[in-house]
Amino acid sequence: MDNTESTPIDSASSGFSSEILLSPLLQYWGYRDFRPLQREAMTLVMHDQDSLVVLPTGGGKSLCYQVPAMCRNGLALVVSPLISLMKDQVDSLRSVGIPAACINSMQTNRDKLEVARQIRQHELKLLYIAPERLVQDKTIDFLRDAGVSFVAIDEAHCISQWGHDFRPEYRQLSRLRDAFPGISVHGYTATATEMVRQDIAAQLQLRNPQILVGSFDRPNLSYRVERRSDAIGQIQRILNRHKDESGVIYCISRRNVETTSTALNRLGFRTLPYHAGMADGDRKRSQESFIDETVQIIVATVAFGMGIDKSNVRFVIHAEMPRSLENYQQESGRAGRDGLEAECTLLYSAGDVDTWEYLMKDIEDPAVYAVSRESLLSMQGYCINTVCRHQQLVRHFGQTLEHTNCGACDICLQEMQPVTDSLIMGQKILSCVVRQGQRFGASYTAQVLRGSKGKRIVENGHDRLSTWGLLKDEPEPQIRNWIDQLLSQGFLRQTGEYNCLEVTDTGRRLLKGELIPALLRARDGVAAQTTDDLWSGVDRPLFEELRGLRTRLSVQKQVPPYIIFSDATLRDLARQRPTRPDGLNQVYGIGRQKVDEYGTVLLFTIRQWCEQHNLPGDVSAEAFMPQTIRRKPSARPTDNLAAATPYFDLFEQGLTIEEVCLQLDRSAGTVSQYLEKYIRVHQIDNIDRWVKPAIRERILQAIGQIGNERLKPLFEFLNSEVSYDDLRIVSALWDIKHSQ
């Protein structure tokens, strides 16, 4: 690692080069390169050029001002909306050796005096402060002599009345332009449409700002939408996929938060509620328990989340539909901030729209109501459309994806399958709407199609319609889903106060057989798919061992576990298994401070693990950079037979995986992928040189019971006691033996 100290400079005019930014990036954070738009955003700060930066959650927005703060003389002011967010950011910065502090109402007078002393002595590089405190006259007067280098405004969408989290106190920030006339101002947010971006720039009085907008796509997140029929049962199935992992469950109302948390606890899960109606102490304890990982699951209203900087959230469940796509992008984006895979599932019901419309009834400004209503309908459209979820989200923010298949949503993963005869199915549903006089809603229509003998249906004589009971073998949620799909494709529309279904002109063409709808149903028995590739080469039991070590260290240091090390760093440690100090320098997310502070205990733990399990240490890092997931690569390493030649030659000579790793300086994960290819290409039926016979037979028995379509279920079935490399190799053997 480059251990040279970064040299602060006054501004970009002092011979600034972007290479100056790489030194602190590596030294403090252990990152060797910039993420998209980070270099450009940092350069604008160095040049004192006002800017607005829109990067998705997990895209590294904080670094865009933290790194320049370390390269500039003076004190960077960071406006932050919540105390918990300030504290997490400051703890994280201090953990890597950066002098930072915050001022908030929860501090004692002694704490505030100490921060004031540090400011006067010019000991700090970053000061986090709430907007209402920063714009006070006494605060501004005190900071005039602090050598302020620039102002960074986090969660900048809060200043816009068109944003999803408008906060009136943010409007006062326009005072900063007069208070500190010679400095630049920079706004940062994860979600902002074009209208919101322009409003932010105007409200902050930015001077000729550069607006940088990154991709709104989060390729590491998998999106799914399910029509809500048995909410607790559906949530339970998702939680079973994420045992011992952190996640958030969002509900609209406080009551639903309480009932959902209670129901899940009765089922054996350990959850805590969080909502604005709780006592301050109880709410704080819930949040701290989640951050400290004494509880892995929090059930909350949207009041929870903005102040959470927790990087290792592996799933977000919306038990009810959020009010806008901006909200959904922000809330679901709290999963996978470390760049690793995470699951986002939304349980939707048409009643959710009614709930939000009821909550919107007090909006007096017609313009605000119109925008809110449009946002709600866009959110509903996302739920009922049968188009790639990733594509829908980025289109809302004015972007498109290059990929036609995202490979990370229920639609593109084909968890939904086409209806065998969608024309007939569509005609049945539309015919029922017509025969009912187009005066009834979706729920009523679904009941008629199912053959319900409900009082209202009998009184209306609709149990005598020719369409009554046409879909009696289909569950009502599935029929409702098809009605939604017909609505989204323009064959039906909803009219009037009660959202009665009406057949459109396009729908009449369907009735005549001139158009065919694209109707989908959920595949039976298809479990949600996950990305096993991101675990390639990771020693999972060692990863769990390191998680335990991280927890113990976090208790000692009294900071959240993810501030010690992210999951991405633990995975890289479990891949490379470094046993020497210089090996830690190659691990993602480990800078100088963490090598000094935790290096000894890390190396001891990994050396001991390798000795106990007879494993090689210091596996080459190769090209592992787990902070980024690239969807649908053009070719996997094993797809190119020319590249496979040196591996195949060594396998022919009878070398083990470990020996090939040493010969070619490659990771065990990479070598095992080529070995799998070698076995399949050459139809090898004896793998004893690579997998112990006892392990081979154990895996074969497991495959015989549950199949080998995916490796993760096998891994869990075998109690995580067999490596993914062995599973991959034996799975290839199984396929060969059963294809002959």
Please write the tens of the pLDDT for every residue from 513-549.
888 888 888 765 444 554 445 677 888 889 888 988 9
Per-residue pLDDT reduced to its tens digit, 445-474: 999 999 999 889 999 999 999 999 999 988
**pLDDT of 319 strictly over 70:** yes
Q: Which residues pair with 225 in a beta bridge?
A: 346
pLDDT for 641 equals 47
713 vs 591 pLDDT, higher one: 591
**pLDDT of 628 strictly over 90:** no
**Rounded to whole angstroms, how far apart are CA atoms 685 and 614?**
26
**Rounded to whole angstroms, how far apart are CA atoms 199 and 159?**
8
pLDDT for 305 equals 54
pLDDT for 334 equals 87
3-class SS of residue 105: coil
Domain spanning 637-737: CATH superfamily: ATP-dependent DNA helicase RecQ (1.10.10.1390)
pLDDT for 16 equals 56
CATH number for the 532-612 domain, one of 1.10.150.80, 1.20.120.420, 3.40.50.720, 2.40.40.20?
1.10.150.80
Instruction: State the average pLDDT for the chain.
Output: 83
**Rounded to whole angstroms, how far apart are CA atoms 56 and 253?**
27
Per-residue pLDDT reduced to its tens digit, 295-316: 999 999 876 654 566 888 999 9
CATH annotation of 417-522: 1.10.10.10
Which residues of the chain are in CATH 1.10.10.10 domains?
A: 417-522
pLDDT band at 632; cut points 50, 70, 90 = very low
CATH annotation of 19-213: 3.40.50.300
pLDDT for 260 equals 94
| Residue 299 tokens, joined | 């059930």
Which residues of the chain are in CATH 3.40.50.300 domains?
A: 19-213, 221-415
Residues 6+ apart with CB under 8 A from 255: none
**pLDDT of 1 strictly over 50:** no
**pLDDT of 638 strictly over 50:** no
pLDDT for 14 equals 46
pLDDT for 665 equals 57
In terms of phi and psi (left: phi > 0; alpha: psi -120 to 50; beta: otherwise), the region of 15 is: left
pLDDT band at 76; cut points 50, 70, 90 = very high
Per-residue pLDDT reduced to its tens digit, 325-365: 988 988 898 888 888 889 999 998 878 888 888 888 888 78
At the second CATH level, the architecture of 221-415 is 3-Layer(aba) Sandwich (3.40)
Q: Burial of 347 by CB count in 10 Å (0-12 exposed, 13-18 middle, 19+ buried)?
A: buried
pLDDT for 117 equals 92
**Rounded to whole angstroms, how far apart are CA atoms 717 and 702?**
7
pLDDT for 6 equals 38
Task: Look at residues 718, 356, 401, 385 and name the one whose alpha carbon lies nearest to residue 541.
Answer: 718
**Rounded to whole angstroms, how far apart are CA atoms 561 and 179?**
39
Per-residue pLDDT reduced to its tens digit, 400-418: 887 778 888 988 888 877 7
Per-residue pLDDT reduced to its tens digit, 645-698: 677 777 877 778 877 766 665 666 677 878 888 888 778 888 888 888 889 999
Which residues of the chain are in CATH 1.10.150.80 domains?
A: 532-612
**pLDDT of 165 strictly over 60:** no
Q: Do 62 and 89 touch, CB atoms closer than 8 A?
A: yes
**pLDDT of 89 strictly over 60:** yes
pLDDT for 435 equals 95
pTM of the model: 0.68
Mean pLDDT, to the nearest integer, of 7-32?
A: 68
Per-residue pLDDT reduced to its tens digit, 540-550: 889 888 988 99
pLDDT band at 172; cut points 50, 70, 90 = confident
